[in-house]
Amino acid sequence: MISSARTNQIMLATAIIGVATIFLFNYYPSLDLDITGNFFLGDGRFTLMNSPVVETLRTITLVTYGFWYLTICFGLGIAISKKSKFLMFSIRDWLYLVLCSIIGPGILANVILKEYSGRARPRSVEEFGAGLDFTHVLNWSEQCSSNCSFISGEVSSMVMIFAPLIFICKKYRWALVVAMFVFGSLSALMRIGQGAHFASDCIMAAVIMIFTAALLYKIVYSQPSPTAQNK
């Protein structure tokens, strides 16, 4: 497990990265457009749009998200029914994993931010051949009515598979950190390359999910379990 002091440090560092990201992409207004522009081919087309390889990888990741959600719900149910650990995780561990997925990708990303941010996706803005206005990160607008660009739901889901495990799996912590960075970056690259998200959408998705996982960790594990063991 991670100490309360270390968790606070992670939350502070994540918050600083988030603020720095917002400042950077607002201070340099063209940065998001320039990054996405590297993938723009013209006529509404992007480098990774309709790529069979990318579509296959995206299908795999979407199936992985679904499998993960089912697994953690099943694990929580089994642990509760047995009133003991299941696959090395306690009831509280399983509850933590479920809460992270529900609150992070579920509520924060898809129910709140993607529905109300109003930020149009890259492929929908005037700079890339469409008709909507480009808006900077975290500048709420009315350019999108639902399922908007901010934040990336898929990057949120990918990061939230690994982030809570980093907090509760001491033995595999650094391997999980590397996996979160690699697969989170791959997910971001696919979505940017398809014209579906700006870079800032993806970075802020990771920042918000990591901060959420840390905050929920502090809440769920605020009282030590008498049977808790380092994993």
Residue 44: CA count within 13 A, CB half-sphere: 4
| 71 membership: H or E segment, kind and range | helix 52-82
Model pLDDT for residues 50-106, shown as the tens digit of each residue: 899 999 999 999 999 999 999 999 999 999 998 989 988 999 999 999 999 999 999
CA–CA gap between residue 16 and residue 38 (Å, rounded): 28
Full set of structural domains in the chain with CATH: 4-220 (1.20.144)
Round to whole Å and give the CA distance between 192 and 183.
Answer: 14
Q: What are the pLDDT digits (tens) for 151-204?
A: 999 999 999 999 999 999 999 999 999 999 999 999 999 999 999 999 999 999
The CA-based diameter of the chain, rounded to the nearest angstrom, is 62
